[in-house]
Structure 1
Amino acid sequence: MSVTYRTAVCHDAGDGSSDLIVEIPPEVLEAMGLRLGDKLNLELVGKDLVLTPIRDSSQGS
């Protein structure tokens, strides 16, 4: 598995929830096989925020 690093812009959702809105460029979405509405796991590793898709095991990726 190869590891790719990208920089993305994060914005406060502005609704008091402490949620973030992460702007993911279209080419990254395509490379990760993501579509609008897909869920991501976010993990803080050192100073990096690591995004990984949450796959539904019943769909048989």
Structure 2
Amino acid sequence: MYQVFNMGHRMEIYLSREHADEIIRISKSFNIDAQIVGFVEVSDRKELIIESEFGKFIY
């Protein structure tokens, strides 16, 4: 499922954590709910790990 669908998110924006609060504030000023749903880390391996209430998915 994670490979095909956006899992209910209408839009995803990837940016530095330092800018997240400002983007959330701007979104809410347009009556658009926004929240932080994850993060990205530097790695020396070619691997994607998604952890959720449905389990741990490694790609």
What's the TM-score bracket when you normalise by the shorter of the two chains?
Answer: under 0.3
Q: TM-score normalised to the size of structure 1?
A: 0.23
* Structure of larger gyration radius: 2
Q: TM-score normalised to the size of structure 2?
A: 0.23
**Between Structure 1 and Structure 2, which shows a larger proportion of helix residues?**
2
Higher relative contact order (CA 8 A, sep 6+): 1
